[in-house]
Amino acid sequence: METFDYVIIGAGSAGCVLANRLSASGATVCLLEAGPRDRNPFIHIPAGFIKTLVNPNLNWLYKTEPGLGTAGRSIATPRGKTLGGSSSINGHIYNRGQQLDFNTWGQLGNRGWSFEEVVPYFKKSERRIGYGDDKFRGRNGELLVTDVTEPDQVSDAFIKGVVNLGIPLSQDYNGAIQEGVNYFQRTIFSGRRISAAKAFLEPAHKRKNLKILTNRHVTEIIFDKRTAIGVKYLLGGVEQEIHARKEVLLSAGAIASPQLLQVSGVGNPDLLNKIGVSTICALPGVGENLSDHYGVRLAARVRGVQTINERTRGLRLAAELTNYLVFRKGVLAQSPGVVLALCKSNKVYDRPDLQVIFAPASYKEDAAYKLDNFPGITIGSWPMRPESRGYVHALSRNMKDKPLIQPNYLKAEADQQLLLSGMKLSRQMLQTPELAKWYQEETTPGKSLQGDDELLDYARKHGTTIFHLMGTCKMGPSYDQNAVVNDELKIHGLDGIRVVDTSIIPTAHSANTNAVTIMIAEKASDMILGNQPLPAVTL
């Protein structure tokens, strides 16, 4: 049985950062990942995400419980299962979130997590190539963040039309102002995905004090009374152990982290009793407070202009493949969407509450990421800070059994109304004079659906996750009944263990989750090593 200073569970965005930073200190580190190494070529080709989202070798392929908000449907919920985790299968968007998101964390009693205090940790990991104020943007980190390199005329027209609707042109939505419309900033460089594994593990993997073990599914955290001392994992069906001298770091994500705690005896005693697990630490908040973005896509047929739909068929696809292999350019080098709009549903609000994405492509309705046979465009929208909350509950003491995931999408009336506002705004954005020369007709849901009840019914039947699950090991002070970790990410009532991933996010976050997860891990690394926090920025 091997022993390391630190044992990290999960090689996703957080786990990769932790492995790099902790091993750089000279400490011995073991990084355990349930999935394989990231050698599948579709991981590294930006457009290959369509393949990874349905590949069981790279993806946990979770499904939610049916709910009223989804018209009784189970929603497919991809989570990465390879080095890099979900950063190896996501849509590449680099979007940090709003100032008030982090200030709210601080107001909830979490010291050190205000916007001014977390900006230095965003900067630390980032190597921004493109415009940005250096007060907010990093230039020397490992994670390459670039601009869209091949803008197209449909997306250009979309942006101009949105600006003429009164939504400002964003100069840098990861800077001082998180509002407006422009092309994405993304984690792509020279036509290749920059996952957390590429950015943080690749430079560190040869360190003798870092051991990266793939295909190791952690089944239990080992406790000595209330101190975590190691983990059990499966390799080829045989259970083995690894011990930690200092800390076990749980970075398995918003689904697996609470599940692993529950099967290890940490959680709501009633649930633990149901699955036959003795309670080590009673924490009713484990697995609760689940938040996710739930969105609806509208699609339209266009004419007189080429979209990705035609560029990926027949001889054109062969040309695109050649363009990618020779020059690392073209459709295969792009993210799925290209334009991001951060909007207010009401102009009197102090900050955006709707996120909108635009793509010069369209997918068949209810098909698994298959493009339409005609020229098409798509716009998707969702409430940034949904009020609906769900839960993740282990159904047995066996980690091989997937947990019950109930996000309770659209349970809150406010989420329903805001989603309707997003759908109506999306229609306005598709029908601007700037797009008029190409716009032909709305294909989904179709212009026949106009009333709020009809649109909401469509949203329930056809909406989906935006893959931003968070909150199931909530960060908060000990007097918060639902808090699982404190502001140093240590689990309340336990020693030798921290949670470092999206599950600690206490409130719904106004952005995609890769950037914030990397920031959390950067900050956690300093905490774990006992380093002084980086100096806060002055606004």
Active site (catalytic) residues? 468
Both tokens assigned to 131: 């415009």
Burial class (CB in 10 A: 0-12, 13-18, 19+), 367: exposed
Minimal CA–CA distance to 523: which of 475, 477, 479? 475
Q: How far apart are CA 297 and CA 464, in angstroms?
A: 9
How many CB atoms within 10 Å of residue 109?
Answer: 17
Q: How far apart are CA 460 and CA 452, in angstroms?
A: 12
Give kind and range of the element (H or E) at residue 295. Answer: strand 294-302
Q: How far apart are CA 105 and CA 476, in angstroms?
A: 8
* Terminal Cα distance for the chain, rounded: 50
Give kind and range of the element (H or E) at residue 124. Answer: helix 115-125
For the chain, the residue count is 539
DSSP helix/strand/coil, 417? helix
Alpha-carbon torsion (415, 418, 424, 429), positive or negative: negative
Both tokens assigned to 178: 């998180």
Minimal CA–CA distance to 361: which of 161, 155, 156, 92? 155
Cα-Cα-Cα-Cα torsion 508, 478, 538, 517, nearest 10 degrees, comes to -40
Q: How far apart are CA 439 and CA 189, in angstroms?
A: 32
Q: How far apart are CA 268 and CA 256, in angstroms?
A: 16
Using alpha carbons, list the distances in angstroms from residue 72 to 58, 363, 417: 27, 23, 20
Both tokens assigned to 83: 């080095």
Cα-Cα-Cα-Cα torsion 311, 314, 318, 321, nearest 10 degrees, comes to 50
What distance separates the 2 farthest-apart alpha carbons in the chain? 70
Estimate to the nearest angstrom the gap between the alpha carbon of 217 and the chain centroid. 21
515, 523 Cβ separation under 8 angstroms: no
Is it true that the peptide bond before 535 is cis, omega within 30 degrees of 0?
no
Both tokens assigned to 136: 């907010």
